[in-house]
A and B are shown apart, each in its own frame.
Chain A
């Protein structure tokens, strides 16, 4: 494995991969992203049988990008950290995407999660009866940052969900993107969202194990929908399609599946 130190080095590697016939790829960094990642020292390259891997070091795991041959098969690879390949697609895999999936699985990755996008217009949102009237939803305070992160880590796998750093969490709190429910002044449930233009997206909803089955998630979502109903054209988020409880909850709230899907392949 070699570190990629400059954008020129990155381009040379990619050019070499293409010359070798490795034309199937999911690696589409724009110049600013390449510059940022090489300056941070987080990009690495590893040549494999009939392919090239570009690995982005995310701390405890790699985000993996690839260049494969269409015709020659890859083989199982050895990496010194866990790794994830994010694979977005529309509706169903095309023939070319199926070829890429076969190569990914040959490398020793397995399908970790299947996600789909769910959306709802404000007028489609249904009110929920399972709201807790005993609690209040508030915007998080700066001193809540660590507790909010812990709640998110409790519910989300870092391989599948972007887990913010503490400084990023503090920034999100300042931007009023984090709402919480407290017990004895400590957050026990958190919702993290982000408005982009005319839609708003949920990034995380998490309730402490000790406080589940009390309607806290629905209470947070109800507050969220009311807060944004007059500000956006729609609500959306990504859901694990095998998380039946989450899918049913969002469908009961009025969400429906869109066309966008994404698989996450992992190597532990």
Chain B
């Protein structure tokens, strides 16, 4: 799953070395257009629904956090 998440992220923002970054949101590296792309792609690819309560910086600051979020939502589904 991590590889798929990275593949999606790298398509959206090839300029960011996602595995090295720990503050993608807090440092403003991802803008609102990126977030729309990322959440849409995650919802589509993993058949999940990321809800408003999950749209928090800590869920998107690192690749690991995003993977954890997706896994949690898949388990709940």
Find chain B residues with CB under 8 A from A232 CB.
15
A residues 1-40 near B (Cβ < 8 Å) are 11, 14-15, 18, 23, 26, 28-33
Say if the beta carbon of A41 comes within 8 Å of chain B: no
Selected contact of B51 from candidates A18, A94, A198, A234, CB within 8 Å? A18
Within 8 A of B (CB), among A31-71: 31-33
* B residues near A33, Cβ cutoff 8 Å: 32
Interface size on A, residues (CB 8 A): 31
Least CB distance from B64 to A in Å reads 18
Q: Which residues of A contact B (CB under 8 A)?
A: 11, 14-15, 18, 23, 26, 28-33, 86, 88-90, 94, 96-97, 119, 196-199, 232-234, 236, 258-260
Question: Shortest Cβ distance from A160 into chain B, in angstroms?
Answer: 13
With an 8 Å Cβ cutoff, the count of chain B residues facing the other chain is: 27
Residue of A14, A26, A32, A90 near B52 (CB, 8 A) is A14
Counting from the closest, the 4 A-B pairs by CB-CB distance are: A199-B15, A88-B37, A28-B39, A94-B44
Q: With contacts A18-B51, A29-B55 known, is A97 near B40, CB below 8 A?
A: yes
Q: Is B65 an interface residue (CB 8 A)?
A: no
Residue of B nearest to A162 (CB): B33
> Judging by beta carbons under 8 Å apart, are A96 and B43 in contact?
yes
Q: Which residues of A contact B55 (CB under 8 A)?
A: 28-31
Asked if B73 is at the interface of the complex by the 8 Å CB criterion, the answer is no
Could you say which of B29, B36, B57 contacts A197, with CB atoms under 8 Å apart? Answer: B29
With known contacts A197-B17, A259-B11, A23–B40 Cβ distance under 8 A: no
Q: Is the CB of B14 within 8 A of A234?
A: yes
A197 touches B8 (CB 8 A): no
Q: A23 near B44 (CB under 8 angstroms)?
A: no
Q: Which residues of chain B are near A96, meaning CB under 8 Å?
A: 43-44
